[in-house]
Amino acid sequence: MAISDILNAVVELDRIAVVENVKTAIIDGVPFDDILNKGLIASMDVVGERFSNGDIFVPEMLQAAKAMQAGLEVLKPHLTCDVLTQKGTVIIGTVKGDLHDIGKNLVSMMVEGAGFNVVDLGVDVDIEKFVSLTQTHNADVVCLSALLTTTMPTMAKIVEAFKESGLKAKIIIGGAPVTDAYARQIGADGFSDNAPGAVELIRRLIAA
């Protein structure tokens, strides 16, 4: 069993093959870290790149993420918790007053697919909840989403609340009316207008 078979099965959206290939790799004695990093996580990098190039579509990317997750479920019992959280913890949610979550869910799945520990707080999330759960999970990055111009100012309040609480987690923002200029204006650490871009941004911020 070659690691590339696992990678290719994810890229081909073949969930059954991913599960089978991971099982075989485990039996064959392939190092678990390799199955995770060179197989499953690397596959989502390929998928993300193809998505960015317009070669695969969103539902296909999400099917790939599901296939990757199915493989991960098989592998999980063999991994220590550290392996899953060592890449970093990312908290994500749509800010208070806003109930839109299509973009947020896309980012959530892509970030999870990239091997990060994702805590998705859902929609209409209180400022206090972002602060307290960032502390609880010792999160590295917090992703804020807003579709409405009326809820965008809440992002600024969250940045402010994080400063006041002395939290060091990086904050990145996104959503249809959100811009790079707005991110700079409110003192956020970054902005992305697409899901793979958010993954790249998170990687850069955590590596920094």
Residue numbers of the site for another protein (CB under 8 A)?
Answer: 54, 57-59, 99, 102-103, 106, 149-150, 153, 176-177, 179, 194-195
Q: Which residue's CB is nearer to another protein, number 22 or number 198?
A: 198
Contact 43, 37 (CB under 8 A): no
Minimum CB separation of residue 84 from another protein in Å reads 26
* CB-nearer residue toward another protein: 28 or 180: 180
Q: How far is the CB of 106 from another protein (least distance, A)?
A: 5
Distance CA 200, CA 76 (A): 24
Identify the residue whose tokens are 């996580």: 41
**What is the 3-class SS of the chain, one letter each residue?**
CCHHHHHHHHHCCCHHHHHHHHHHHHHCCCCHHHHHHHHHHHHHHHHHHHHHCCCCCHHHHHHHHHHHHHHHHHHHHHCCHHHHHCCCEEEEEEECCCCCCHHHHHHHHHHHHCCCEEEECCCCECHHHHHHHHHHHCCCEEEEECCCCCCHHHHHHHHHHHHHHCCCCEEEEECCCCCHHHHHHHCCCEECCCHHHHHHHHHHHHHC
Name which of 43 and 151 has its Cβ closer to another protein.
Answer: 151
- Residue 106 vs 118, nearer CB to another protein: 106
To another protein, the closest distance from the beta carbon of 33 in angstroms equals 32
* Least spacing, CB of residue 102 vs another protein, in Å: 5
The least CB distance from residue 35 to another protein, in Å, is 29
Q: Tell me whether residue 35 or residue 144 sits nearer to another protein (CB atom).
A: 144
Nearer to another protein (CB atom), residue 138 or residue 150: 150
Q: How far is the CB of 95 from another protein (least distance, A)?
A: 13
